[in-house]
């Protein structure tokens, strides 16, 4: 039984958890038995161990049931997987890189995104101990290609173990995102989406899906008569999304989990993250073009294409994963 440390985020934004679901689903299909240990990058957590006046370790004020850096923890990790998202280096991950350096163990970065500046220490670790480096967009790929990195679909496409083939357009899920907080659309883009959603509601059966409580509160206010779907538990989104035949919205991982289920989607761009959805086969489209696109889309054809694409990518991922030292011991 191996002990794998996953760098991810729990109880912050379910998109990060969809990525982790996907990676763990592949490991499960490949029959890897392991203890999952979380390094939780949640912004409100302080991972630094503090000492009392006698030098004894004490738990910090903000902490959860995940990895902590201390003498004993070095013996609890056999392998490290950076599970996607744009935060894959930097100060917040100091403890993970400390662990890699001190213990001299292998690691992989799966589905990471965005440009990150690399210190000499991180570059040395990438040269020496990295095994699989998969960037989900061109920025991450450019950072990692000199270390053998490749551009590949984000593993969130494997978040759902099952696919739900669609044959016609009966229900549209709108992945609603408010403005004015971290990684959210600007006010101008948000205003355009609201106008679009109101037009779509006139012609189609629509429900709203919210990934954060902030989104949930705003959606309740803006669309009080509509069905608004939300959960604080990322696992619940698997049953939320499967009801829809088409998903529209600004969130990358609204499109990602849709593709994982064989559900066509349309992504409204608002920052560099939108590039990720190209490999989900989700068209990136400005709001003014979307209603015409809905009228033309062949739901059955697109759903079938997504399901076939997912299976093809799953086999490619298994080939990548088979190169991990986890499978050779």
**pLDDT tens string for the chain (329 positions)?**
889 999 998 888 899 999 999 999 999 999 999 999 999 887 766 656 555 555 555 655 556 777 777 777 778 899 999 998 888 898 888 889 989 998 889 999 999 998 888 989 999 999 999 999 999 999 999 999 999 999 999 999 999 999 999 999 999 999 999 987 767 788 889 999 999 999 999 999 999 999 999 999 999 999 999 999 999 999 999 999 999 999 999 999 999 999 999 999 999 987 777 788 899 999 999 999 999 999 999 999 999 999 999 999 999 999 999 999 987 75
227/127 same-domain check: no
176/146 same-domain check: no
Measured between alpha carbons, how far apart are the two ends of the chain, in Å? 11
Is there a domain that residue 22 lies in? yes
106/142 same-domain check: yes
Coil, strand, or helix at residue 48?
coil
What local confidence, expressed as pLDDT, does residue 267 receive?
95
- State the Cα torsion 18-20-26-28 to the nearest 10°: -110
Residue 28 has which token pair? Answer: 């499960």
Q: How far is CA 57 from the centre of its chain?
A: 33
Q: What is the CATH number of the domain that holds 274?
A: 3.40.50.2000
Is there a domain that residue 132 lies in? yes
197/78 same-domain check: no
Domain that holds residue 11: 2-152
> Strands 50-51, 57-58: parallel, antiparallel or unpaired by DSSP?
antiparallel
114/184 same-domain check: no
133/11 same-domain check: yes
7/148 same-domain check: yes
279/176 same-domain check: yes
Q: Tell me the C-alpha distance between 226 and 234, whole Å.
A: 22
Is there a domain that residue 67 lies in? yes
What local confidence, expressed as pLDDT, does residue 72 receive?
74
Is there a domain that residue 165 lies in? no
56/195 same-domain check: no
Q: Cα separations (Å) of 175 from 56, 195, 209, 258, 263?
A: 47, 14, 5, 11, 13
What local confidence, expressed as pLDDT, does residue 231 receive?
97
Q: Tell me the C-alpha distance between 149 and 142, whole Å.
A: 8
Is there a domain that residue 329 lies in? no
Q: Tell me the C-alpha distance between 200 and 226, whole Å.
A: 13
How many folded domains does the chain comprise? 2
195/288 same-domain check: yes
176/222 same-domain check: yes
What local confidence, expressed as pLDDT, does residue 90 receive?
86
Q: What is the CATH number of the domain that holds 97?
A: 3.40.50
> Which residues, in sequence order, are CB contacts of 46 under 8 Å at separation 6+?
60, 61, 62, 63
Is there a domain that residue 159 lies in? no
What local confidence, expressed as pLDDT, does residue 46 receive?
63
15/69 same-domain check: yes
Is there a domain that residue 304 lies in? yes
Is there a domain that residue 157 lies in? no
């Amino acid at each position: 039984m191996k002990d794998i440390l996953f760098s991810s985020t729990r109880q912050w934004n379910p998109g990060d958890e969809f990525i982790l679901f996907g990676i763990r689903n592949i490991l499960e299909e490949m029959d890897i038995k392991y203890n999952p240990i979380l390094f939780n990058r949640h912004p409100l957590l302080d991972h630094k161990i503090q000492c009392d006046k006698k030098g004894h370790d004490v738990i910090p004020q903000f902490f959860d049931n995940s990895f902590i850096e201390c003498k004993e923890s070095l013996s609890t990790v056999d392998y490290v997987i950076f599970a996607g998202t744009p935060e894959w280096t930097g100060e917040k991950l100091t403890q993970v890189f400390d662990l890699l350096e001190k213990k001299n163990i292998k690691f992989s970065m799966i589905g990471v995104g965005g440009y990150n500046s690399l210190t000499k220490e991180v570059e040395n670790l990438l040269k020496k101990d990295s095994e699989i480096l998969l960037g989900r967009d061109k920025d991450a790929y450019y950072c990692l290609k000199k270390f053998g990195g490749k551009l590949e679909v984000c593993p969130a496409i494997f978040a759902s173990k099952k696919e739900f083939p669609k044959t016609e357009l009966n229900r549209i899920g709108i992945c609603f995102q408010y403005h004015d907080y971290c990684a959210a659309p600007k006010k101008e883009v948000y205003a355009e989406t609201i106008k679009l959603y109101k037009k779509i509601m006139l012609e189609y059966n629509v429900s709203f899906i919210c990934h954060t409580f902030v989104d949930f509160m705003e959606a309740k206010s803006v669309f009080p008569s509509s069905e608004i779907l939300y959960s604080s538990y990322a696992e619940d989104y698997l049953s939320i999304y499967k009801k829809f035949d088409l998903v529209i919205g600004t969130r990358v991982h609204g499109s990602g989990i849709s593709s994982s289920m064989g559900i066509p989607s349309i992504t409204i761009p608002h920052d560099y993250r939108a590039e990720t959805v190209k490999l989900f086969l989700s068209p990136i489209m400005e709001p003014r073009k979307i209603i015409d696109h809905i009228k033309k889309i062949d739901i059955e054809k697109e759903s079938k294409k997504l399901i076939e694409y997912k299976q093809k990518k799953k086999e490619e991922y298994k080939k990548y994963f088979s190169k991990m030292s986890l499978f050779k011991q």
